């Protein structure tokens, strides 16, 4: 697993072993960042269910102003910290060991949120209503999930913009914040 482009291009990242970890493939990661590439410069990014931190690190490498990495696994937090430090992004990063739901109840506003939770646990559906009030005007939410999962068309101010399919197992759904 490596950083695809930007200031940390080619940097190898560590990941955890085991069944609970499912790093995003380079193909899907490239597609994800093609979707948000023009919104990344100077954006405040939230990498929710961060795992190894690869998605937030990719955002920082491509010009995001800052990234908050959230994961409830202590082992994941340790890997994220190692990866962030090895890429030189410590000063632009905040790494928090807490559940997504607990973090979203009191977090600051964010511009881009990336959600890549373990599949088939209902975590995206739980997070979206909590996240919607924490998004900035014009904000974007990108959800990576199992193919076939139907996410709602609207969650408060979040309006589904587009769905993308990548093979038989992976899909991306994007939401934008509807401005009043």
Domain spans, the chain: 26-177
Q: What percent of the chain has pLDDT over 90?
A: 77
What CATH number labels 26-177? Answer: 3.40.50.150
Average pLDDT for 54-75: 97
Average pLDDT for 146-175: 90
Q: How much is the pLDDT for 33?
A: 94
Q: pLDDT tens digits, residue range 115-141?
A: 999 888 899 999 999 999 999 999 999
By the 8 A CB rule, do 59 and 40 touch? yes
Q: pLDDT tens digits, residue range 2-54?
A: 999 999 999 999 988 765 566 787 888 899 999 999 999 999 999 999 999 99
Can you give the three-state secondary structure of the chain, one letter per residue?
Answer: CECCCCCCCCCECCCCCCCCCCCCCHHHHHHHHHHHCCCCCCCEEEEECCCCCHHHHHHHHCCCCEEEEEECCHHHHHHHHHHHHHHCCHHHEEEEECCHHHHHCCCCCEEEEEECCCCCCCHHHHHHHHHHCCEEEEEEEEEEEECCCCCCCEECCEEEEEEEEECCCEEEEEEEECCC
User: What values do phi and psi take at 105, rounded to 5?
Assistant: -70, -20
Q: How much is the pLDDT for 28?
A: 86
Task: Report the sign of the C-alpha dihedral through residues 19, 101, 40, 145, in that order.
Answer: positive
Average pLDDT for 138-151: 92
Q: How much is the pLDDT for 37?
A: 93
Measured from the Cβ of residue 154, the count of other Cβ atoms closer than 10 Å reads 12
d(CA 63, CA 65): 6
């Amino acid at each position: 697993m490596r950083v695809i482009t930007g200031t940390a291009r080619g940097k190898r990242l560590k990941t955890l072993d085991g069944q609970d970890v499912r790093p995003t493939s380079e193909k899907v990661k490239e597609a994800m960042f093609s979707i948000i590439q023009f919104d990344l410069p100077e954006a405040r990014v939230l990498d929710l269910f961060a795992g190894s931190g690869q998605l937030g690190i990719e955002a920082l490498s491509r010009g995001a102003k800052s990234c908050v990495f959230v994961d409830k696994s202590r082992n994941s937090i340790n890997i994220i910290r190692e990866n962030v430090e090895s890429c030189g992004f410590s000063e632009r990063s905040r790494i928090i060991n807490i559940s997504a739901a607990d973090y979203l109840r009191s977090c600051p506003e964010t511009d881009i949120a990336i959600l890549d939770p373990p599949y088939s646990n209902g975590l995206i559906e739980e997070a979206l209503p909590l996240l919607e009030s924490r998004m900035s005007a014009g904000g974007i939410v990108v959800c990576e999930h199992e193919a076939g999962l139907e996410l709602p068309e609207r969650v408060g101010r979040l309006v589904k913009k587009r769905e993308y399919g990548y093979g038989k197992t992976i899909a991306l759904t994007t939401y934008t914040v509807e401005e009043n």
